[in-house]
Amino acid sequence: MSCVTLAAADAPALTAPAGADVLPPVRPPLGLRRLARAGLGALLALVLPPSCLACRHPVAGSAAALCPACWRAMRFIERPYCERLGTPFRDDPGPGALSPAAIAAPPLFGRARGVALYEGVARELVHALKYRDRLDLAPALGAWMARAGAELLAGADLVIPVPLHRARLWRRRFNQAAALAQVIGRASGVPVETLALRRVKRTPAQVGLTSLQRADNVRGAFRVASGCRERIAGRRIVLVDDVMTTGATATAATRALRAAGAVNVDVLAFALVAPEP
């Protein structure tokens, strides 16, 4: 297969396939229920005031915003945090500090950054994007991610989303990580590569698995396409996903990218799961 990199300015709209993994290569019919839902959403956007991204209550100003209550409920990640895993500290241990988790098991990837902890409102936003077809959330979530990951993106050559297996992509009809990566690419100017990394192993869902089970579940799940290896070799990659829990998926994807010659892989997620205290 050929490998095509999308410049940030050329990244397709979130509803356009353009060979990327926002939508599967062959699209089944949408169905009347999906069309009716899309039409109703467009109509409501015209006649109703802007609403909160999370609770859908009216908000003043921009439609891509949270209401004051949801904003206060979001546990945004700010310094001080672990330099490797990006998870926040309760107290400030000084610049460059590592968390016990990062010291005990240094990650294969370089650094991870996230917008918020994966709980409450942040969890609701992720679930709405992933499971309830809320692609309208991608621009706001991706913009927050671009700001949270500015230090990673400043030194990056490529942005690569964590891919879905073809079977899951067919059922879900879009890859939420690819939708976020496109927004991040446009905001940062870093080219987005959606075809290089493939998910070649159809793995069960990670929900409910232990750390060891998650690592075993995704071992060997990713591979760089043979026609894309030259795009990866010598490059500094920012790997994009919606959530990072134990880091098992990010580690497996990083291993595939490093095997193809990537010199560094950092991880940028919308939400991070805080390690156990």
Model pLDDT, residue 4: 57
Task: Kindly tell me if the per-residue pLDDT of 224 is higher than 70.
Answer: yes
Query: Checking DSSP bridges between strand 236-244 and strand 222-224, what pairing results, if any?
Result: unpaired
Here the tokens at position 152 are 């990673």
Whole-prediction pTM value? 0.81
Structural domains present in the chain: 8-30+76-272 (3.40.50.2020)
Are 211 and 240 in contact by the 8 Å Cβ rule? The answer is no
CA atoms within 13 A of residue 130's CA, in its CB half-sphere: 14
24-47 pLDDT tens trace: 434 444 445 544 555 555 555 556
50-88 pLDDT tens trace: 889 999 998 887 667 899 999 999 999 999 999 999 999
165-187 pLDDT tens trace: 887 777 777 899 999 999 999 99
**Cα–Cα distance measured from residue 37 to residue 134, given in angstroms and rounded to the nearest whole number:** 11
Amino acid making up residue 157: D
Choice between 89 and 8, residue whose per-residue pLDDT is larger: 89
Mean pLDDT computed over every residue of the chain: 83
